[in-house]
Chain A
């Protein structure tokens, strides 16, 4: 079971970037790059040497390991449909969020370590957006706990404790919120643009400007894992409304994120930076709304 879980997790994480690229190419009418091109790029990076800035300290060299390590451990807590994750305990959702925060702090500090104005800019924005997303994440966890009466991810997404049909609307809204969180956490349009690091779009990409080779590969891998974590959560929540099985949840995660990110990136422009905070605060407001709706539905038990 654990082996299947890990394998599926890896497949989902590696497939999403390919699906996004294919979607974008189709919508633009191009032939586009190969489906596995990002893996070839990864292999290329893993073979390279490294160049380090003289301004940096040992922290800069340790960060990729911490960033990737935190993402790996966090991803081991995410159930895929009815497949139980390797790690599960009361409040594991909090642990996952804080592990990702550990990775974020490491990357932000590494960016500050280079002493570059551009990377400082990216670091400051990443820290702010990360801080604002946190309440939305916890409210989502609260909503799920409210709907199921359980406090660990494995139990929340257990087919035995499925939330009743009356919570469907809440679960759909939660899926939507989680998808929006995917956009912010993996630095996609309209919050950030992964294709460029120029001044107007300086968030995630610019923080890794001074990384190359193996280090950059590790950071990218961690980014894919992070995307997979939130996509799987969104897919699990959606699957809980009709069929909570792993063979439904895993493809759903790939399709949900791959298609939505691909479509949004082909049709929308990137936000002005000031709009980003509004975008994220909207997610928080939606999360509060979902929670309150769930609360009202729960009160209804006594009335009916």
Chain B
């Protein structure tokens, strides 16, 4: 019955979006997304404010057993995150697709908005179901819808390639999850997350944990399963990138959280903690170093998403280690930092992808080498992007700082109290290095895109975007400022969501963190006040003096030109020179030779390829291809053959059961 209701709802949504005129399709989608989001968000805020866990659905079926959906504090946090991201993306799409509306057919647009609606609602379904088959159903619905969303510009070959790679990788992950849940049901008779602890206790936790970790890690972009992210995000329209990067990959984090919350014994916690911490360090460092090497706005942002997932995993690892060692302060800081960082990342990454979309539509490119100086013509976009940049670099007084500070505190508490000192120190070093390189990567991004002199005609002629998109960007901005300036309140919500993971009562946990967070808030306000006072003093000092304008000082060189500016590639050259082995540099064209004193015109194109990508063009891919071609012979297209196959399958089952092999 449950699935029937959902099909019915899907039919209504499809009909409404198809009937709506092209201009109103976005608003129709927004009505559905906003309506459901608002209903759930109100409920979620109630739950986070201390209400009871709300039951959303319950059904029994013969084949799948009992399946439920409910809204506990952890679900509630993710519901809020998805609601904000989905509504902002839909509003943004109205402005973003304005130009596309003329080129695409109405059916094409309908499909796009239908997928957008289905994906948003499916994500809400994922985080509210208690595991089991309804979880898998929503998970698959989300994957397929996002696949269709990536395919918006299906005319381009690289878009089709990226979408297909995404679909394949997601289904490998899906198969792993199916294996995990079926194993769970076989062991305990129920496939819901609630059955996990008894399953872990009954027969070893490690195999099942690894299966789940790989399945959810695929969605989250955990190293080395991250390769779909940097391909899919540049291919997708910007609001879809924002939704996928800001929101969808968080469902992977949600899954991991549900699984690790079920662990109980110290040994299991410790082993898992070390695994998650190591995965986080690898993911974070790989993501950030590759991000610094990219020369495309959206690819850079995609790699930075990988890096942020790494930071979240580092936090989770610290929390697990703390729980294993019986160190409540370390556990609390780790889990609160990880959850808050998940929320924070959804805010600033949506904002940054929206900003990238603005740049793309106004200049027609996302290549760093063709941009520059857009801050003069697009001041609002530039300002919002700057705030996003500072937030993602985890700088005070914004939100990223609060979550990273919590994770750092967790590590320091671990070190100070002598539990898991070396693991905490490894996490500390990695997080510090990640934090440093993020500043480099985003200084490069912001500096080459928005500052300096324009490197192309299009960048010089860019104009500011429409108000819908600015409004859509203001939504995540509000989140960034709220968490940054009122950290105690924000962390209060998050700690409640972390309740299922903690052994201490929530009130005690909040009491533990409050002094630090109040001090952080005070420091943030102090910083703002000091900077404002200094700016005012400076303004006052300069009021009656001569302010002249002139060209940039060229150190005596009289004919500087725009092409001599530092480019994105040259900005990160220093980092590339000390970490050469992570990327593969492919150069095309001929570089200027050292012996040429007066160089003629040259063309040179350099790309940094992810070395993990090579895994997917190795010998085994060719082998799979050949096997696939053999198997394709079975697909004859004749119905009589297919019936024969079904018969053969039944006979096989029969024979196997005779010999007791099933």
A interface residues with partner B (beta carbon < 8 Å)? 46, 48-57, 59, 62, 64-66, 68-70, 72-73, 87-95, 97-99, 101-102, 104-105, 108-109, 112-121, 123-125, 127-128, 130-135, 137-139, 141-142, 145-146, 148-151, 197, 209-210, 213-215, 218, 274, 277, 281, 284, 288, 291, 295, 298
Contacts and interface: CB of A to CB of B under 8 A. Distances in A.
Contacts of B39: none
Given A120-B571, A121-B566, A145-B412, 19 more contacts: A51-B547, A64-B534, A69-B527, A69-B534, A72-B530, A90-B409, A90-B516, A99-B396, A105-B390, A116-B553, A118-B554, A119-B566, A123-B447, A132-B433, A141-B412, A146-B418, A151-B409, A210-B552, A214-B542
A214 B547 CA distance: 12
Contact of B405 (A46, A94, A210): A94
Q: Which of A115, A142, A214 has the most CB of B within 10 A?
A: A115
A128 B534 contact: no
Contacts of B573: 124
A126 B562 CA distance: 22
Nearest to B426: A288
Contacts of B442: 105
A147 to B, nearest CB: 9
B478 to A, nearest CB: 21
A292 to B, nearest CB: 8
Contacts of A70: 527, 531
A65 B532 CA distance: 8
Contacts of A119: 552, 566
B549 interface: yes
Contacts of A127: 439-440, 443-444, 571
A209 B534 contact: no
A76 to B, nearest CB: 8
B545 A123 contact: no
Given A91-B412, A95-B520, A102-B395, A124 B571 contact: yes
Contacts of A108: 439, 443, 447
Contacts of B577: 274
22 contacts: A50-B547, A53-B552, A57-B375, A59-B451, A65-B531, A70-B527, A72-B530, A89-B519, A90-B412, A94-B405, A108-B439, A116-B554, A117-B565, A124-B570, A127-B440, A131-B437, A134-B435, A139-B432, A145-B416, A197-B555, A209-B555, A295-B421
Nearest to A139: B429
A302 to B, nearest CB: 10
B603 interface: no
A130 B538 contact: no
Contacts of B443: 105, 108-109, 112, 123, 127
Given A59-B375, A131-B440, A298 B520 contact: no
A181 B436 CA distance: 15
A64 B542 CA distance: 13
Given A57-B376, A65-B531, A87 B435 contact: no
Q: Which of B416, B519, B541 has the most CB of A within 10 A?
A: B416
B451 A115 contact: yes
Contacts of B530: 69, 72-73
Contacts of B421: 146, 295, 298
B527 A98 contact: no
Contacts of A66: 531
Given A62-B535, A95-B520, A105-B395, A112 B542 contact: no
Nearest to A132: B436
Given A101-B395, A109-B446, A115 B452 contact: yes
Nearest to A92: B519
Interface in B3-44: none
B560 interface: yes
Nearest to B433: A135
6 tightest Cβ-Cβ pairs between the two chains A and B: A120-B566, A131-B436, A112-B447, A89-B519, A134-B436, A115-B452
Q: Which of A72, A104, A142 has the most CB of B within 10 A?
A: A142
A53 B571 contact: no
A288 B375 CA distance: 42
B221 interface: no
B315 to A, nearest CB: 14
Interface string B422-439: 101100110111011101
Nearest to A281: B578
Nearest to A50: B547
Contacts of B526: 73, 87
A149 to B, nearest CB: 5
Given A109-B446, A113-B452, A94 B408 contact: yes
B598 to A, nearest CB: 19
B413 interface: yes
A46 B416 contact: no
B372 interface: yes
B552 A114 contact: yes
B515 interface: yes
A105 B439 contact: yes
B30 to A, nearest CB: 34
B416 A149 contact: yes
B523 interface: yes
B565 A142 contact: no
A99 B530 CA distance: 13
Contacts of B75: none
A123 B386 CA distance: 17
Contacts of A288: 429
Contacts of B401: 95, 98
Given A89-B515, A105-B390, A112 B552 contact: no
Contacts of B548: 49-52
A244 to B, nearest CB: 19
A49 B548 CA distance: 8
Nearest to A274: B577
Contacts of A125: 574
A131 B550 CA distance: 33
B98 interface: no
A54 B548 CA distance: 10
A142 B415 contact: yes
Nearest to A301: B418
Interface in B272-325: none
B199 to A, nearest CB: 37
A281 B433 CA distance: 12
A123 B573 CA distance: 12
Contacts of B636: none
B641 interface: no
A123 B552 contact: no
A210 B451 CA distance: 15
Nearest to A108: B443
Given A102-B396, A112-B443, A52 B547 contact: yes
A171 B163 CA distance: 55
B589 to A, nearest CB: 22
B503 interface: no
